[in-house]
Amino acid sequence: MSIVWSEGIIHDVEIRPLKTQTDSRGWLSELFRRDELKPEQFPAMCYVSETLPGVTRGPHEHVEQTDFFVFFGPGELKLYLWDNRSESPTYCYKMIVPVGASHPTAVIVPPGVVHAYRCVSEIPALTLNAPNQLYAGKGKKEKVDEIRHENKTDSPFVLDE
């Protein structure tokens, strides 16, 4: 059985264009503020990753973890989101969002929303993630909260080519 995805905004996903303050020294952008986040979204850790041109990360989802991604460049990415939460009012919705140097964006991805991103520029793209859970738990001694879909041949989470 094939899932039919509807295009639309996904409930609980927050997409925030980043605002920059520029002066003679360069620029500054607030990524997040505690007074703008729900307590369950407060970061537990932070990491940065580089994605090479043409490379895709995901699709995968989390059972409990909320991701707080910041896409700021250099490089450009396409972010793919699928609402896989059967109790959600936007179940079976998908979104494709351009992010990166041309569209500096912070995105909150709640548990159960499948996500992936692909570097679509000729230069690598940097991504910062500040999830609300520790990767592999305290001391990296717990099971990783991740359901991976990228190597499943029958995955309904298909990226456009």
| CATH number assigned to the domain comprising residue 78 | 2.60.120.10
Distance CA(23)–CA(39), nearest Å, equals: 33
pLDDT per residue over 108-128, tens digit each? Answer: 999 999 999 999 999 999 999
Taking 90 as the threshold, does the pLDDT of residue 1 lie above it?
Answer: no
Residue at 145 is within a domain: no
| pLDDT, averaged across the chain | 95
Question: Is the N-terminal amide bond of 104 cis, ω within 30° of 0?
Answer: no
4 DSSP 8-state letter: P
In a domain, residue 57? The reply is yes
State residue 161's pLDDT score. Answer: 61
Quote the tokens at residue 156: 């309904």
Q: Check residue 110 and give its pLDDT.
A: 98
140 within a domain of the structure (yes/no):
no
Residue 124, both tokens: 């690598």
- For residues 2 and 20, give the distance between their C-alpha atoms in angstroms, rounded to a whole number: 42
Instruction: Report yes or no on 10 lying in a domain.
Output: yes
Cis upstream peptide for 110 (omega within 30°)? no
Structure tokens at 87: 């109790």
**What pLDDT is stored for residue 88 in this prediction?**
98
- Look at residue 3 in the predicted model and tell me its pLDDT: 86
Percent of the chain with pLDDT over 70: 99
* Residue 139: inside a domain: no
User: Would residue 156 count as lying in a domain?
Assistant: no
pLDDT tens for residues 46-75? 999 999 999 999 999 999 999 999 999 999
Range 92-112 average pLDDT: 97
Residue located via tokens 């997409």: 15
> Are 73 and 104 spatial neighbours (Cβ–Cβ below 8 Å)?
yes
pLDDT, mean of residues 150-161: 88
Q: Which of 104, 38, 115 shows the shortest CA–CA distance to 72? A: 104
What pLDDT, on a 0 to 100 scale, did the predictor assign at position 160? 81
* Domain assignment of residue 125, yes or no: yes
Based on the structure, what is the number of domains in the chain?
Answer: 1
DSSP assignment of 59-87 equals: EEE-SSPPEEEEE--SSEEEEEEEE--TT
Asked whether residue 143 is domain-assigned, the answer is no
**Cα–Cα distance, 134 to 47 (Å, whole number):** 11
Q: Maximum Cα–Cα distance for the chain, whole Å?
A: 57
Is the confidence at residue 98, as pLDDT, over 90? yes
Range of the domain at 80: 6-134
